[in-house]
Chain A
Amino acid sequence: MDQIAVTAIGVLFAVSTLALLALGLAIIFGMMGVLNLAQGEFLMLGAYTVLVTTSHGLSVWVGILLAPVVVGAIGVVFERLIIRFLYGRPLDTMLATWGLSLALVGAVTLIMGPTTEGVGTPLGSIEIGRYGFSVYRLVVIAISVGAVLVTYFVLRYTRFGLIARATMQAPRLVAVSGVEPRLVYMWTFGCGAALAGLAGAVMAPLTGVVPSMGLAFIAKIFITVMVGGSTVLLGTAASAGVLGLVESATSYASTPIYGQVAMLTMALILLRLLPNGMSGLWRGGL
């Protein structure tokens, strides 16, 4: 019984963090058609924000609150400097953001050093029968669910969400209505980066902080967003559910590396069956 509860929380943790990690890229890809290969480095920058705040004696939670702001601002800067020149050329955007990813890893290594730094996990742990469980993991699950819900409400019920969705479907119509689509893209990219910053910050106490940490996540994120398909939230949540389950089940049975292999295999099978991703299973929606 205890073991079932702990395993259930473990699977829930895998699924919800996968959704949180992929959410930023899902928004950038789904709304703008831009596949940002530097998304892993945005996560890394979020984690470093936490590292810098805690090393200045502030609490981890301050860092987690600060990270989306910092990384969102960095995202907007790079959108202005690089990505805005490449709209309508998706493959060139991939190449340029790949370059950005390499350059960011190099730059951060230069400034912060190549070693792995730890951030203390807050909140201690609770006992479920014979098993200890970190409370922080439960908070991470709550933050992930919260982030997905907030994103849903912003897109569904606010004016900005309405304009963003309209820009995704008909940029010209938005333009003749008096809204500059390129500015909408800028804000959307900033939001996607901010969500990556949040995800990276939340993961920092669990994984440690190192310039190349993005690599550990991006394979998962790309697979999840690809399998998710065109509906940003529902698709991502559904594919995070399926792939997170496959990954954590395989990881329990063998090693996390084979968990990723199983995830990729599952993704290839799903893509062969559903070329439009999980979104092909239903019509419309977010």
Chain B
Amino acid sequence: MAGWAVSRSETALWTAAALSLAGLPQLLSLFQVVQLTVFVIFAILALSLDFIWGVAGILSFGQAALFGIGGYMYGIVAINFAMTPLGLVAGMLGPAVIAALIGYVAFYGRVGSMYLAVVTLTVTLILYQVMGSTADPRYAIGDASLGGYNGMTNIPSLSLAGGPPLGPVENFYTTGALLFLALMFFVALTRTSYGRILQGIRENEPRMELLGYDVRWRKLLAFVISAAFAGLAGALFASWGNFINPEVFSLPQAAMVVIWVLVGGRGTLWGAILGTVVVQYLTSLLGEAGATYTTMALGSMLIAIVLLFPRGLAPALIQGMAIVLRRRPPVAAGR
């Protein structure tokens, strides 16, 4: 298949990305490595949204909630069994099952795209309240108590094959490798015939149906895959901070994921990673000014991007630069 042919320049790009990931811990302080690890984890989450939204054209507001479910699943498994890699698997499976249930109702009921956005948003809102109401010690699964708004604490860090918990640098390499694999997986997926059909559904769903493709299971599958990766990011997050609380189900958190993807440009996949790192770095600077200002800035940013750069900030910048350099604007990947 022609789609699988990887050009020489693209191979060079992948190699450069892998090398810079490998080299970063040598250049940074330990604190910076720890902070960069959480950016990498969030980048996996952003990637999962960019796949479902940018590639398949399905806007889900529940990506942060699936991330949260993944985190709680990891916590429950890691606390009860001494097998943290199993926690990662559980962190992917849990959100996938939830997404399958919601997706079944939405896609097989053929409800509109706005309805899926609203349903995922509502699930997020209700999960926030439900998980917040679990402060009583009787809300515990095995040894893992859910802890209400204080969250689940003392979650063990990831350790591979019975060894000791990973140190900060090893943890960075593990999450970095997972991000790298996730990006490769999604890029490869968009080049299979399934991925191309998904993009066709994004562009014109009735036409794809008339061509004889069953769009229902294809959209459902895309939703479930994306949920699994959001859950993986959540599991890594719970392992990184050794705790998780219902804030992951809060609306600012859910909006954040959308903003990462919007800043990076929808449908580019790599843009989601770029957007996450840039926005997270800026909010970490802003965070010192207080949460109220962060919420206001987030909201205003969302309005501004939608009004001024509906295709995303990074594509708009690239286009602007291309005009300045008097070249033809490059065509964004997947469009």
Contact = CB atoms under 8 A, between A and B. Distances in A.
Given A91-B59, A107-B296, A260 B303 contact: no
Contacts of A99: 255, 298-304, 306
Interface string A248-280: 000000010110110010011001110100000
A103 interface: yes
Most chain A CB within a 10 A radius of its CB, from B114, B115, B292, B306? B306
B299 A100 contact: yes
B303 A219 contact: no
Most chain B CB within a 10 A radius of its CB, from A91, A98, A264, A273? A98
B215 interface: no
Contact of B296 (A98, A110, A255, A272): A110
Q: At the interface, is chain B mostly helix, strand, loop or mixed?
A: helix
B255 A102 contact: yes
Contacts of A106: 292-293, 295-297, 299
A35 B114 contact: yes
A103 B300 contact: yes
Given A91-B114, A109-B292, A264 B122 contact: yes
B303 A271 contact: no
Contacts of B102: 268
A85 interface: yes
Given A82-B307, A110-B296, A275 B110 contact: yes
Interface string A83-113: 0011001111011101111111111011000
Most chain A CB within a 10 A radius of its CB, from B61, B105, B111, B295? B295
B292 A110 contact: yes
Sorting the interface of chain B by its residue count into under 10, 10 to 19, 20 to 34 or 35 or more gives 35 or more
Given A219-B122, A226-B118, A268 B298 contact: no
B109 interface: yes
B236 interface: no
Interface stretch (B123-131, B138-146, B168-176): B123-131
B154 interface: no
A261 B130 contact: yes
B135 to A, nearest CB: 12
A271 B115 contact: yes
Given A215-B125, A271-B115, A103 B303 contact: yes
A133 interface: no
B298 A255 contact: no
Given A95-B306, A226-B118, A264-B123, A104 B299 contact: yes
A121 B233 CA distance: 47
Contacts of A257: 126, 129-130, 133
A23 interface: no
B109 A86 contact: no
Given A95-B302, A98-B258, A104-B299, 4 more contacts: A35-B118, A91-B59, A102-B251, A268-B102
10 contacts: A37-B121, A92-B310, A95-B258, A98-B299, A99-B302, A114-B292, A257-B129, A260-B126, A271-B111, A272-B105
